[in-house]
Amino acid sequence: MPRVAITRQDFLQDRQGRTFADVLNDPEQPLDDVLSFFNDEARQRRMEESEIHHDRPPLAGVVRELEAQPSVDEFLSSKHPRRTKRLRQAVGVVARMIMERLGWKKTGKKGSLGVRAKIVQGKSTPGAYHNTGGLAFWFLRAERYEHPDRTSYPSVRARARQIKSPTARQSSAGRRSKGPRPDGRFPPKDQR
């Protein structure tokens, strides 16, 4: 039993979902498979864990499994890029709806899911818009979220700033540090 279930009706009533009626009404689009995929408790848990423990967008927690779904992979690899873009955007809407119903809020920032292959702008060859590196093959970026009731773990950047702060550099009990000064130079040997 999923913690949150998104139906076709829920999708159509959503402020963004209603703008994807073309995706919902296109029988070739695998949106029903996408909705079924996301209506799974374990996947929803992995989406939250991706944000909490891995400092990545929620979609990063399930994107490989989503892309491995036969109907999704077939559609993304064989249809015109404009149609595949609409499906990928609709997936983002479904992910947002789930995260918001789980109590999360958008940060307004995007997280990377892949590195796009170099292609000529406007190319319409099916399957041309894919990644050459990163976590996902078809998805490039995804929304980041924060939970108002959960404190997130500090990022590596924030922790590094903390270590470099003047209070962190002071050695305990007034002892002099044997390491380099803040300017990167070592103190004279008689002061070590």
CB 142 within 8 A of CB 55: no
Collapse the DSSP code of 145 into the 3-class scheme (helix H, G, I; strand E, B; otherwise coil) and give the result. Answer: strand
Residue pLDDT, tens place only, 90-100: 999 999 999 99
- Report which residue type is found at 127: G
In our burial notation (b when 16+ CB lie closer than 10 A, e otherwise), range 165-179 reads eeeeeeeeeeeeeee
User: Is 68 part of any domain?
Assistant: yes
What is the pLDDT at residue 120? Answer: 66
pLDDT at 118: 79
Question: Is pLDDT at 39 greater than 80 in this prediction?
Answer: yes
Which residue, chain included where needed, has tokens 């015109």? Answer: 80
Does any domain span residue 72? yes
Q: Does residue 78 sit within a domain?
A: yes
Residue 109 falls inside a structural domain: yes
pLDDT in tens, 19-36: 999 999 999 999 999 999
Asked, for residue 170, whether it belongs to a domain, the answer is no
Mean pLDDT calculated for residue range 4-20: 96
Domain annotation covers residue 181: no
Query: Is 45 among the domain residues?
Result: yes
Domain count, the chain: 1
Given this model, what pLDDT does residue 172 score? 45
Whole-number mean pLDDT of the chain? 85
Q: Which amino acid is at 109?
A: K
Check if the beta carbon of residue 112 is closer than 8 Å to that of residue 64: no
CA–CA separation, 61 vs 53, rounded Å? 10
Q: Is 55 left (phi over 0), alpha (psi -120 to 50) or beta?
A: left
Q: What is the DSSP string of 84-116?
A: HHHHHHHHHHHHHHHHHHTT-EEEEEEEE-EEE
Query: What's this model's pTM, rounded to 2 decimal places?
Result: 0.77
Distance in angstroms (rounded) separating the CA atoms of residues 187 and 165: 19
| Full domain range(s) for residue 99 | 8-118+126-146
Is 85 domain-assigned?
yes
Pairwise CA distance, residues 68 & 62, whole Å: 10
